Amino acid sequence: MKIAELNLPQALKDFYTGSGIPELYPPQAEAIRQGLLDGKNLLAAIPTASGKTLLAEMAMLKSIAEGGKAIYIVPLKALASEKYDRFLEFSKLPIKPDGVKVGIATGDFDSRDEYLGEKDIIVATSEKTDSLLRNGASWLSGLSVVVADEVHLIDSPNRGPTLEVTLAKLRKINVNLQILALSATIGNAKALAKWMDAALVQSEWRPTTLKEGVFYGRAITFKKEKRTVNNAGPDEVNSLVADTLEEGGQCLVFANTRKSSESIAQKVARSLSKKLQPAEKEQLAKLKQDVLRHAETDTCEKLAECVGNGVAFHHAGLKGEHRRIVEDGFRQNILKVIACTPTLAAGLNLPARRVIIRDYKRFDVNYGSVPIPVLEYKQMAGRAGRPRLDPYGEAVLIAKNYDEFGELMENYINADPEHITSKLGTEPAMRAHALSAVATDFCRSRQDLKAFMDTTFFAYQRGDLSHVIDNVLNFLLEENMIIESKGGSLKATDLGSLVSKLYIDPLSAALIAEGLEKAKKRPDVAEFGLLHLICSTPDVKSLYLRRGDYSWIIRYADEHASDFLSDVPDSYGDDVEFEQFLAGVKTAALAEMWINEKSEEAITTFFNIGPGDIRNLMETCTWLMHGTAEISALLGAPATRTARELAIRIENGASRELLDLITLKGVGRVRARKLYDAGYTSRDKLKAAEIPAIAAIPGIGDKLAVSIMSQLGRKVDHTPPETEEQPQVSGQSTLFSFDG
């Protein structure tokens, strides 16, 4: 089917043809026949790289040309930026008088982001979309198309419920909404399609060949052929990498932990360094400098070292800047190999000729080491052989012995993907969704709520949710977050409505509210008490306890005995409860070090975590502390001011004395400290200073000095020299990092 024949705006057809896409792939053509361009709901459960994004683009842009508006929901941040960059290419498309406006929804979870109402396409994670609904963003009722990319995420215990409830809500408030769900091939696509009243496109067709196989005994056995690996040595990963690089391809290596992704990268870097050409080395040296520019810790140094040799690692413990450098370096074929955790598994278009899945098992707290599902294996494998980037792709698992070889062939290469199942039927999953449905007046009674939950995938698959809903409503009634009238109508209290908007788990909010009630009876509220309070809620993923931790944490807890705002369990009582308490103390201790300006290096070493972990954890803590301040204000507790200050300090990792300086744009904790130590201890003192004196402080420079002065309202007619580096204004970040 030719693009030129489609019922699409001419400008869009010209755009595709001009960019080398004159014809649809067969599954895309099938989607057109099933009514994609006639506003029909559609589920495309087709292989990786089969061009699902193009389906979304055509549906969205056709609708936008007719005055509509679209939201594109994704699971991961890396994918959100890839899609955002792609859709920006349509900005100048003359299908609307002022072009197509694209937005990406990041940022705080309690804002409505009304400016997004101006946009035609909004890219957002499912959590952000949910939070926009809770905060009553008006434009969400004016959507014409919703795209749920990687919709098999519904299967995820942590994140699936939010996605399915969000989809159900969007459908309820937009009667003529077209839903387009994009999924990998799954076992029960029919059921999912039926739930969405959608036509189904299913196919095994892939534009480029993806050969999947197992490496054992110096050769890769694919389904239909065998490939001998040239010069295979004792190290499997190194042999597989060298083999692909020799033929000019690039490699992705998937590992199950961050640590092993790092050691794989180091190992590959050592053997690759000898084979690089001088011109390649030169480019890599530049990239290494880019990494070092943002380096504060050992992990960053390690990354820089690997990058200098053409290899990188990539996981959620890396800083955002480093992740981008790595992704871009690989896209430009400067980096030859990335060793990563599954952060790069979903949806991304990367030029990987060969994907090596080094670990097919993953650690699970309840079950120990377990094999990953076929669906997940397929996601990783599917990064190889992307059309227009590679002529074909190979995905390779590694077997240690003949038995394992047989198992891997049977359980992955020749296996069908699993069915996906909804995880909405538990109280933790239901709590927040029930509260938000009531708080937004979306459901006004128990029956209403049950009727709405009846439209979810869970109800479709498993039936009745009444029991869970009743339990959750009883909890919310007890915690004074909702009230039920005699006539049976439900309403949120001020507390309930605040909690829903703040996007925190109602159980966390209940624990915080209880702690704040205790604070009312205290002469003062200790900072550590508040830190510990938020760190003991289910929203904060506590640090694990290691064997060597117990003695110092118990001592630490003793020293802070009078600070705690939550119940301190008896050390001779319930083991699990006591351990949870200690894990909360450990996490709070990290937060305390962070706000007392301990270096990232010191914290990562002491707690044995990555710099990105500190950021992720502190982002969540900032959010909860902000929530604590709001709840404290509502309850009239004496912690509002301290909590507000703490939220700013956690966000920036700064001591109390830096509060005045830290909120200046371009001034992080390191620069604020330098200004402070140079005698500029407040905004007033800075305002009275001379620009050259400020600029001369190491790390400040002309441009930032000028920017600070103009932020302070001083007139500046000082033009800084062109060569000066731009001040680093910290960007707005999203609240949660979802990647593993």
Ligand X SMILES: Nc1ncnc2c1ncn2[C@@H]1O[C@H](COP(=O)(O)OP(=O)(O)OP(=O)(O)O)[C@@H](O)[C@H]1O
Task: List the one residue from 184, 255, 291, 355 that touches ligand X (CB under 6 A).
Answer: 184
Element (H, E) at 45: strand 42-45
User: Using the rule CB under 6 A, is 388 a contact of ligand X?
Assistant: yes
Task: List the one residue from 53, 106, 174, 508 that touches ligand X (CB under 6 A).
Answer: 53
User: Using the rule CB under 5 A, is 103 a contact of Mg ion?
Assistant: no
State which residue, 102 or 430, has the beta carbon closest to ligand X: 102
Of 43-51, 514-522, 578-586, 633-641, which part binds ligand X (CB under 6 A)? 43-51
Task: List the one residue from 213, 308, 329, 382 that touches ligand X (CB under 6 A).
Answer: 382
| Cα 492 from chain centre | 30
Q: Answer yes or no: is 49 a known binding residue.
A: yes
Long-range contacts: 362-365, Cβ < 8 Å, 24+?
362/256, 363/256, 363/257
Cα-Cα end-to-end distance for the chain:
40
Q: How far is the CB of 347 from Mg ion (least distance, A)?
A: 4
HSE-up of 647 (CA within 13 Å, CB side)? Answer: 15
Q: Work out the burial of residue 33: count CB atoms within 10 Å of its CB; fewer than 13 is exposed, 13-18 middle, 19 or more buried.
A: exposed
State which residue, 54 or 507, has the beta carbon closest to ligand X: 54
Q: How far is the CB of 462 from Mg ion (least distance, A)?
A: 28
State which residue, 49 or 735, has the beta carbon closest to Mg ion: 49
State which residue, 179 or 439, has the beta carbon closest to ligand X: 179
User: Using the rule CB under 6 A, is 387 a contact of ligand X?
Assistant: yes
The interface partner of residue 645, options being ligand X, Mg ion, none and the CB cut-off 5 to 8 Å by kind, is none
Q: Answer yes or no: is 509 a known binding residue.
A: no
Q: How far is the CB of 13 from ligand X (least distance, A)?
A: 12
**Residues of the chain by 3-state class (helix, strand, coil), percent to 5:** 50, 10, 40
User: Using the rule CB under 6 A, is 351 a contact of ligand X?
Assistant: no
Q: How far is the CB of 125 from ligand X (least distance, A)?
A: 16
Q: For residue 357, which of 335, 369, 336, 342 has the smallest C-alpha distance? A: 342
DSSP string, 329-389: HHHTTSS-EEEE-GGG-SS----BSEEEE---EEEETTTEEEEPPHHHHHHHHTTBS-TTT
Task: List the one residue from 75, 103, 317, 347 that touches ligand X (CB under 6 A).
Answer: 347
Q: How far apart are CA 355 and CA 260, in angstroms?
A: 16
Task: List the one residue from 34, 41, 50, 125 that touches ligand X (CB under 6 A).
Answer: 50
State which residue, 57 or 549, has the beta carbon closest to ligand X: 57
User: Using the rule CB under 5 A, is 9 a contact of Mg ion?
Assistant: no
State which residue, 52 or 649, has the beta carbon closest to Mg ion: 52
Please list, in sequence order, all residues whose beta carbon lies within 8 angstroms of the beta carbon of residue 649, skipping any fewer than 6 positions away.
595, 655, 656, 659, 662
Of 16-24, 428-436, 601-609, 630-638, which part binds ligand X (CB under 6 A)? 16-24
As a three-state string, the secondary structure of 174-241 is: CCCCEEEEEECCCCCHHHHHHHCCCEEEECCCCCCCEEEEEEECCEEEECCCEEECCCCCCCHHHHHH
Q: How many residues bind ligand X (CB under 6 A)?
A: 19
User: Using the rule CB under 5 A, is 161 a contact of Mg ion?
Assistant: no
State which residue, 382 or 515, has the beta carbon closest to ligand X: 382
Residue showing the smallest CB distance to Mg ion in the complex:
347
Q: Which amino acid is at 302?
A: K
User: Six-digit token pair at 683?
Assistant: 């905004």
State which residue, 13 or 52, has the beta carbon closest to Mg ion: 52
Q: Answer yes or no: is 648 a known binding residue.
A: no
Asked whether the beta carbons of 634 and 696 are under 8 A apart, the reply is no
User: Using the rule CB under 5 A, is 347 a contact of Mg ion?
Assistant: yes
Please list, in sequence order, all residues whose beta carbon lies within 8 angstroms of the beta carbon of residue 604, skipping any fewer than 6 positions away.
297, 298, 299, 610, 611, 613, 614
Please list, in sequence order, all residues whose beta carbon lies within 8 angstroms of the beta carbon of residue 401, skipping any fewer than 6 positions away.
none
Task: List the one residue from 6, 8, 24, 617 that touches ligand X (CB under 6 A).
Answer: 24
Q: How far apart are CA 5 and CA 269, in angstroms?
A: 50
| Cα 709 from chain centre | 36
Q: How many residues bind Mg ion (CB under 5 A)?
A: 2
Q: How far is the CB of 73 from ligand X (least distance, A)?
A: 14
Q: Answer yes or no: is 11 a known binding residue.
A: no
Per-residue binding string, Mg ion, 48-87, x by CB under 5 A, is ----x-----------------------------------
User: Six-digit token pair at 488?
Assistant: 């049976």
Task: List the one residue from 188, 257, 349, 421 that touches ligand X (CB under 6 A).
Answer: 349
Q: How far is the CB of 629 from ligand X (least distance, A)?
A: 40
Q: Answer yes or no: is 17 a known binding residue.
A: no
Q: How far is the CB of 385 from Mg ion (least distance, A)?
A: 14
Of 238-246, 255-263, 383-391, 637-645, which part binds ligand X (CB under 6 A)? 383-391
Task: List the one residue from 1, 21, 334, 659 that touches ligand X (CB under 6 A).
Answer: 21
Task: List the one residue from 15, 25, 360, 680 that touches ligand X (CB under 6 A).
Answer: 25
Q: What is the signed CA dihedral for 644, 648, 651, 655, rounded to 10 degrees?
A: -120
Task: List the one residue from 15, 36, 43, 51 that touches ligand X (CB under 6 A).
Answer: 51
Q: Answer yes or no: is 48 a known binding residue.
A: yes
Q: Answer yes or no: is 28 a known binding residue.
A: yes
HSE-up of 178 (CA within 13 Å, CB side)? Answer: 24
Asked whether the beta carbons of 694 and 680 are under 8 A apart, the reply is yes
The backbone torsions φ and ψ at residue 121, rounded to the nearest 5 degrees and listed phi first, read -125, 130
Task: List the one residue from 8, 43, 49, 357 that touches ligand X (CB under 6 A).
Answer: 49
User: Six-digit token pair at 480?
Assistant: 């004074």
Of 17-25, 286-294, 547-555, 598-606, which part binds ligand X (CB under 6 A)? 17-25
Q: For residue 249, which of 390, 396, 397 has the smallest C-alpha distance? A: 390
State which residue, 304 or 395, has the beta carbon closest to Mg ion: 395
Residue ranges of the annotated binding site for ATP are 28, 46-53
Residue ranges of the annotated binding site are 28, 46-53
Q: Give contact residues for Mg ion (rule: CB under 5 A).
A: 52, 347
Q: Give contact residues for ligand X (rule: CB under 6 A).
A: 21, 23-25, 28, 48-54, 184, 347, 349, 382, 386-388
